[in-house]
Structure 1
């Protein structure tokens, strides 16, 4: 199997037949061996019926239907577990990603030996205020935080080596940061390709402004996980040492002052430095406890089912 095309979707029934025909045309004209895997993320329209019909007439089409809407990251996770291709292409189902980009993305993986190639929608057909400006700010922050020099982290059109998708864990809403997850897993040869972006033909976007707020929160999460995910005690322990040292320094000062310089003065408990000392030492202790708990959680973590699949098509 040469190429696996993974397509997560939510309520895109109108575009699926056209997208399927377009992908098949590209695959056949380039004589690729392929599979197309649709992941229906809890659609409430006719999407699953369309996928079912396509799978019956073409064995290259496979499908996964979630019991309800679990999110794009979970859909990609489920798809990545099932794919068998040497090169995996992800794309959205709304016809805004152009399947004609697939051959060049395939070559960049197989001939230029990139681990991952991310699309860059240099010219977009989205609303400037609602999507373009927030996207530019989001991508700038992601570059500065992660060290991965991409212009468009959230482009759905990406290509991967099979090893990459089998060794990264896409969860929560981390689909925006798959290149960062790949880098953290050791796949550092990450490329970028300018891809054609097209105006939405059917329906409306499923994403609102809240996705950018969530995106920045996820960015903080992945920054923390990248630096301290495997050693939480290094962060919380360091903060604990700093806070406890501040508290101990105040306590030591109060003790010396009371014993040698001002024995007849106010009681230690009547001085504000006493409460600063007490609070900072308590906070320092709490940071230490947080670090220990983080280490315990890390060592006891087990794989958990993050979604429920209702039905599979053409999958063993």
Structure 2
């Protein structure tokens, strides 16, 4: 690569039972990246397809060359796992992900790369502004989910569900994707970099012409459950005791206040409180508070064990200034002053010399 060329690029595409889209997809990627001024590779992950998709992918790889790589999973693990497998195998400085159903246009990738470099971003996600999907089953639930996710996570973008994204490899490889968390990648990336380094750009969107969609209205309910997990991990991953402890303290305060009120009625007014529903509610609140507080302590122990055993840090360094090998010394000499003071002293010394 020359100095004027673009960063190396890995295009990651997960596919599941998309045999009719294999050949058109590979051809469209080559057409879209024909003028890309840099090295690139196409990495297709077959997620346990049963319709002959892997065989079709191997055929395309033999036809186009070794830069078309196929990663075949042993069974169907889901889109998130397939995307993570592709990211792990990617070798480029930048990683682009998109769906294999040809609804995303690979021709948008070079323009997105230019925008990411120009704006100095770590993640650039596509916005399907003119989306070619069903209004009731796809568009309306997606809009509601995007607003809800943005409000809870603090990363406000218009289209969380668009798979067409460009990442810096050094950033996305710090993020591990589990379950069905590919929908919340911008939120996970925001745990590593500030939201200001996450951007969005309008991309084209095409209607599906072959194969069947793997999504349905039931996805809405799974998104809500996953969103709760995202909210917890973004804010309390390193301090889960604060989450459970705050709930425990709130319940304990209410339960304690109720018991104090009932105790006053029993001691000073002589009322019978044993059969009152309020007494049962107060006891349940206190017991629940103890359980939440205990859970908080145990979760803190688990969190500390996780960070220590996996040698993971609670922070991520963006840039590091100073290198012992380059500078030659990492220590200040005894009596060494600040450079500004040293400059001032040298200037004073020079002036005294001239006056003399």
TM-score, structure 2 as length reference = 0.80
Q: In the alignment, what sits opposite 2:285? A: 280
SS in 2 for 1:244: helix
1:199 pairs with 2:200: no
**Offset of residue 78 of structure 1:** 1.1
Q: In the alignment, what sits opposite 1:229? A: 237
- Mark the runs of 5 or more structure 1 residues left unpaired by the alignment: 304-316
Q: In the alignment, what sits opposite 1:171? A: 178
Q: In the alignment, what sits opposite 1:311? A: none
Kept in 2: contact 1:87–1:109 (CA 8 A): no
In structure 1, what is the Cα distance between the partners aligned to 2:161 and 2:127?
A: 9
Tell me whether 268-277 or 234-243 shows the greater mean CA deviation. 268-277
Kept in 2: contact 1:6–1:79 (CA 8 A): yes
Q: In the alignment, what sits opposite 2:322? A: none
Kept in 1: contact 2:31–2:107 (CA 8 A): no
In structure 1, what is the Cα distance between the partners aligned to 2:277 and 2:213?
A: 56
Q: In the alignment, what sits opposite 1:247? A: 255
Alignment of 1:100-179 (within 5 A): 100-179=107-186
Q: In the alignment, what sits opposite 1:38? A: 44
Q: In the alignment, what sits opposite 2:19? A: 13
Aligned residues: 300
**Offset of residue 267 of structure 1:** 4.8
**Offset of residue 201 of structure 1:** 1.8
- Mark the runs of 5 or more structure 2 residues left unpaired by the alignment: 1-6, 311-356
Name which of 296, 301, 304 aligns with 1:296. Answer: 301
Name which of 58, 64, 82 aligns with 1:52. Answer: 58
**Offset of residue 250 of structure 1:** 2.7
In structure 1, what is the Cα distance between the partners aligned to 2:281 and 2:34?
A: 72
Kept in 1: contact 2:95–2:168 (CA 8 A): yes
**Offset of residue 289 of structure 1:** 1.8
Kept in 1: contact 2:48–2:72 (CA 8 A): yes
**Offset of residue 275 of structure 1:** 2.2
**Offset of residue 155 of structure 1:** 0.3
Distance 1:187 1:69, change over 3 A: farther
**Offset of residue 117 of structure 1:** 0.5
SS in 2 for 1:21: helix
Kept in 2: contact 1:38–1:63 (CA 8 A): yes
In structure 1, what is the Cα distance between the partners aligned to 2:185 and 2:193?
A: 12
Kept in 1: contact 2:33–2:106 (CA 8 A): no
Kept in 1: contact 2:32–2:108 (CA 8 A): no
In structure 2, what is the Cα distance between the partners aligned to 1:156 and 1:116?
A: 12
In structure 1, what is the Cα distance between the partners aligned to 2:253 and 2:171?
A: 44
SS in 2 for 1:62: strand
In structure 1, what is the Cα distance between the partners aligned to 2:184 and 2:55?
A: 31
1:22 pairs with 2:28: yes
Say which one has the larger Rg: 2
In structure 1, what is the Cα distance between the partners aligned to 2:258 and 2:207?
A: 63
Kept in 1: contact 2:265–2:271 (CA 8 A): no
Distance 1:266 1:115, change over 3 A: same
Q: In the alignment, what sits opposite 2:354? A: none
**Offset of residue 246 of structure 1:** 2.0
SS in 2 for 1:176: helix
Q: In the alignment, what sits opposite 2:68? A: 61
Q: In the alignment, what sits opposite 1:97? A: 104
Q: In the alignment, what sits opposite 1:182? A: 189
SS in 2 for 1:38: strand
In structure 2, what is the Cα distance between the partners aligned to 1:253 and 1:137?
A: 44
Structural RMSD (CA):
1.8
